[in-house]
Amino acid sequence: MRRPRGHRWSPLRRRLLLALAALAARPALAQRNAGPYVPTPWPIVDAMLALAGVRADDYLIDLGCGDGRLVITAARRFGARGYGVDIDPGLVKLANANAAEAGVAGQVRFDERDLFETDIGAATVLTLYLLPHIVTDLVPRILAQMPAGARVVSHDYALAPWPHDEELAFDVAEKEFVSGTTHTRLYRYVVPARIGGEWRLELPGASPARLSVRQQGWRATAAVASGARTSEVDEIVIRGATVRILLPPMGRAAARTQLEGRLHGDALEGEVVQPSGRGAWRAVRLDAGTR
């Protein structure tokens, strides 16, 4: 906008413009360094991809991708698609060149980008080799953004306090050269289904009950209401898309009932496994439209 001749800015407007100019002149906020470049040795790349169970229909993201070796190997060996980000422009250039050389440039991409600003919502596999406090800081984002059943594999550092599903420990001679130790640990996590809310529970030979699940990340508690009686569920464990529920004695069942099932859209479906009966059970969301 051009300023008309002879016009004087009001003191308030001048103060506003000066404040905006000062803001624009400020140096960009420093990116948070999530760890120095230490490439994952090749035998550990293989072990990480095997632990994640990478398949052709996976989309693997490596946060802090270095030379792109995890993403490129997943694409070349398993046909997966992938994406990597790094703050080091030289490494990003190298990763894209490595992808072209490996013939997987059409399946993968690498960008110079801060991993804390990277959307991980499309990843079905996430690989990490970052500082211990950084992987822990990522847990809320992983649980909020990644789809249920997605796998996370972290090299050397656990995503505490999230309990891992599987852990591997082994020694790799090549690691001594880059990390000063041969010792390696890999941790695998599976993103839990989101089942918090209200459900209509249908058990074989029983009237429908109401199941109320309170979920925070991987932890859940629940209550079941049948007739006029509401009881806390003895145990509810969510692992990926599967759920195990131990119901207290209710209705005609004198003993506790164990349910195992799987989330399919807005329904949990599975088998009554013990001890008070067998057969199929099902729970249907009552709050589907309100979430």
Ligand X SMILES: C[S@@+](CC[C@H](N)C(=O)[O-])C[C@H]1O[C@@H](n2cnc3c(N)ncnc32)[C@H](O)[C@@H]1O
User: Binding residues for ligand X, per CB under 6 A?
Assistant: 31-35, 37-40, 62, 64-66, 69-70, 85-88, 91, 114-116, 129-130
Least distance between ligand X and beta carbon 194 (Å): 27
Least distance between ligand X and beta carbon 64 (Å): 2
Q: Which is nearer to ligand X, 171 or 287 (CB)?
A: 171
Q: Which is nearer to ligand X, 137 or 234 (CB)?
A: 137
Residue 263 identity (one-letter amino acid): L
d(CA 232, CA 19): 57
Least distance between ligand X and beta carbon 41 (Å): 9
Q: Which residues are paired to 84 by β-bridges?
A: 62, 110
List of residues 6+ apart from 272 with CB closer than 8 A = 203, 204, 257, 258, 259, 278, 279, 280, 281
Q: Which is nearer to ligand X, 65 or 190 (CB)?
A: 65
- 3-state class (DSSP) for residue 202: strand
Q: Which is nearer to ligand X, 9 or 170 (CB)?
A: 170
> Rounded to the nearest 5°, which phi and psi values hold at 272?
-80, 120
d(CA 75, CA 65): 14
Chain length of the chain: 291
Q: Which is nearer to ligand X, 129 or 199 (CB)?
A: 129
Burial 92-108 (b: 16+ CB within 10 A, else e): bebbbebbeebebbebb
Q: At 114, list the tokens.
A: 């801060």
Q: Which is nearer to ligand X, 70 or 142 (CB)?
A: 70
Q: Which is nearer to ligand X, 37 or 218 (CB)?
A: 37
Least distance between ligand X and beta carbon 36 (Å): 6
Contact 200, 210 (CB under 8 A): yes
Least distance between ligand X and beta carbon 178 (Å): 9
Least distance between ligand X and beta carbon 177 (Å): 14
Contact 145, 120 (CB under 8 A): yes
Q: Which residue is nearest to ligand X (CB)?
A: 64
DSSP state of 94: H
d(CA 156, CA 44): 10
Q: Nearest-CA neighbor of 268 among 246, 291, 251, 285?
A: 285
Least distance between ligand X and beta carbon 91 (Å): 5
